[in-house]
Amino acid sequence: MPASSQRIVALPVQALAWLGGQGTRAIAALVFIGIALPPLGELLKPYVTEAIFLLLCISYLRVDLGALRDHLRRPGLVLAATAWTTLAVPLISGGGCLVTGLDTRSPDLHLALMLQAVASPMMASPALAAVMGLDATLVLVTLVTSTVLIPITAPLFAYAFFGAALTLSPLRLGLKLVAILAGSLLVAGAIRWSVGTSAIKRHARPIDGLNVLFLFVFVAAVMGNMVGGFLADPITTIELTGLAFAVFFALLGATALIFRKAGHDRAMALGLMVSQRNMGLMLAATDGVLPGTTWLYFALSQFPIYLSPQLLRPIVRRLSAQKATPAVPEAGGA
């Protein structure tokens, strides 16, 4: 290949590597770009399912099989965290909605909260945990085990709690989730087999850049109607924003409290994972055919998710400092 052609091919790869190197700054910026360019969001909205599929492919592509095997040899904590995020969270959320009558007072918001609750954790949560210095391997293994169960648990909870709010039948929902998850796993496996693990590791930064681009399709599509929603009803939009942050920190705090005996860093890692629900997967499974309030809540929920590394960094830094500081023995102690 001539040198000029090599430079032309190298430029996109370098651009992707630069984008991938921006880390959480690029991810946080996506939210504000999506808000600033609503027409682009409308243009990208039909491609949400494809973007989520490609994001899942990249996540499976980056799985560390050695780390996965190590945690599965000691499965107690993983099983407990999987049961909490996959079973307990939807049950508590669904029960709360029924007790408060939200399912009849605001069916669209009820649908949004339940789709959020039944979703598996975000595929990006291990990467965010690693950036924050938390136990990313524990997050990864729990993410894998809980995601495997979603095609079974999501239809069951849909049958129990959604009622007529979801136009997609529970069986079709389960089949679509199986197709998306199994298909992305097969594509990722084929890529790993053809190019090899070492090549994937060498091109980690460009792959991260692709991750940001595919994530932008999802974020822009969900954030596209946020400005319109705010202009139409600013009070409701502000209330939904407060609710999104409240749900995020309630899940984070409850999870960290429940798993505190596993260590503060592990508890915080699991809290981060459980609070970041993969609503994009649910959008893909429903083909984005959702009411306006549901779309708006999903859009506003991106704020705590993508700003969490910055919001939680002081807490994680304090926990790391406490862990690194040796205990001072009392005078006269053994």
pLDDT band at 329 (very low <50, low <70, confident <90, very high): very low
Q: What is the mean pLDDT of residues 230-241?
A: 84
Specify burial of residue 321 (Cβ count, 10 A radius: 0-12, 13-18, 19+).
Answer: exposed
Q: What is the spatial distance between Cα 148 and Cα 168, in angstroms, rounded to a whole number?
A: 20
Is the Cβ–Cβ distance between 88 and 149 less than 8 Å?
no
Q: What is the spatial distance between Cα 261 and Cα 203, in angstroms, rounded to a whole number?
A: 38
Q: What is the mean pLDDT of residues 249-274?
A: 90
Is the Cβ–Cβ distance between 87 and 242 less than 8 Å?
no
Q: What is the mean pLDDT of residues 141-152?
A: 84
Q: Across the chain, what does the average pLDDT equal?
A: 79
Amino acid type, 319: L
Q: What is the spatial distance between Cα 169 and Cα 326, in angstroms, rounded to a whole number?
A: 56
Closest CA to 59 of 146, 148, 124: 124
The least confident of 114-118, 262-266, 290-294 is 290-294
Q: Where are the domains of the chain?
A: 48-317
Is the Cβ–Cβ distance between 10 and 206 less than 8 Å?
no
pLDDT of residue 225: 67
Q: What is the spatial distance between Cα 128 and Cα 120, in angstroms, rounded to a whole number?
A: 16
Model pTM?
0.74
pLDDT of residue 170: 65
What are the pLDDT digits (tens) for 15-56?
777 776 766 677 677 777 877 777 777 788 778 778 878 877
pLDDT band at 331 (very low <50, low <70, confident <90, very high): very low
Considering the four listed CATH numbers 3.30.2130.30, 3.30.479.30, 1.20.1530.20, 3.30.465.10, the one that applies to the domain covering 48-317 is 1.20.1530.20
Q: What is the spatial distance between Cα 254 and Cα 52, in angstroms, rounded to a whole number?
A: 28
Asked if the model's pLDDT at residue 266 lies above 70, the reply is: yes
Percent of the chain at pLDDT exceeding 90:
14
Is the Cβ–Cβ distance between 142 and 273 less than 8 Å?
yes
pLDDT of residue 231: 73
pLDDT of residue 4: 47
